[in-house]
């Protein structure tokens, strides 16, 4: 019986360690990631709050054109590989910083390859920058593991019923507990 408890504990710990997401082991780089693109002859730095990008996760982007945003306006458009618009947003001034824009998204719905177009209007003329981005699968545990953990109470109930059935049968064979009588009450 002691070996059974030890094996159950070892299996439980093994399953729990399998649930730790890859980002906890350094599989993903969380934090700022910077990319510089050209909008005409204007360098534009894009700062990603989370990298790599994940589907169904809100994201924040900071767009900093060379020379600041004074007298300029901008938009950011995401299109998928089928050229359908998935996100269209105006670039808004970042609170507390005077020379950058910010865009917060609720998240791209599906993983895949996207083309991000940043259009800048105003002083110096209209400029456009495009950059290809890949959006990975949504964060979280795998579906099969969620079901495995979610069904633990069922596993425990089945184990308890089988154990009690075996215990009651042993007591019945020993004559300590009378066998159940059939019939209705």
> Whose CA is closest to 60, among 40, 74, 80, 76?
76
Give me the average pLDDT of each 10-residue run along the chain (185 residues): 65 55 42 86 91 88 92 92 85 89 87 94 89 90 88 94 93 82 56
| pTM across the whole model | 0.61
Helix, strand, coil shares of the chain as percentages rounded to 5?
30, 40, 35
pLDDT of residue 179: 74
pLDDT of residue 154: 95
Q: What is the DSSP string of 77-109?
A: EEEETTS-EEEEEE-EEPTT-SS-EEEEES--S
Instruction: Please give the residue range of the domain that contains residue 163.
Output: 141-177
SS3 33: strand
**Cα distances (angstroms) measured from residue 23 to each of 13, 61, 148:** 19, 20, 21
Same domain flag for 45 and 110 = yes
Same domain flag for 122 and 151 = no
What is the C-alpha radius of gyration for the chain, rounded to an integer number of angstroms?
29
Q: Are 86 and 55 in contact (CB under 8 A)?
A: no
Same domain flag for 167 and 97 = no
CATH classification of the domain holding 118: 2.60.40.1220
Q: Tell me how many domains the chain contains.
A: 2
Same domain flag for 166 and 104 = no
Q: Are 135 and 112 in contact (CB under 8 A)?
A: yes
Same domain flag for 98 and 168 = no
> Whose CA is closest to 49, among 16, 99, 94?
94
20 inside domain: no
């Amino acid at each position: 019986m002691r070996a059974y408890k030890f094996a159950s504990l070892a299996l439980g710990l093994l399953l729990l360690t399998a649930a730790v997401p890859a980002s906890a082991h350094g599989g993903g780089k969380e934090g700022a990631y910077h990319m510089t693109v050209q909008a005409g002859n204007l360098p534009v730095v894009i700062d990603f709050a989370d990298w790599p990008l994940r589907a169904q996760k809100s994201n924040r982007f900071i767009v900093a054109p060379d020379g600041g945003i004074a007298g300029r306006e901008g938009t950011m458009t995401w299109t998928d590989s089928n050229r359908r618009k998935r996100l269209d947003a105006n670039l808004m001034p970042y609170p507390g910083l005077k020379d950058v824009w910010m865009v917060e998204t609720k998240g791209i719905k599906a993983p895949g390859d996207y083309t991000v177009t940043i259009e800048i209007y105003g002083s110096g003329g209209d400029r456009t920058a495009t950059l290809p981005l890949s959006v990975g699968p949504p964060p979280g545990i795998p579906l099969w593991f969620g079901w495995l953990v979610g069904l633990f109470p069922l596993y425990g109930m089945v184990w308890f019923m089988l154990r009690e059935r075996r215990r009651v049968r042993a007591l019945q064979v020993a004559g300590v507990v009378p066998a159940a009588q059939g019939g209705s009450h």
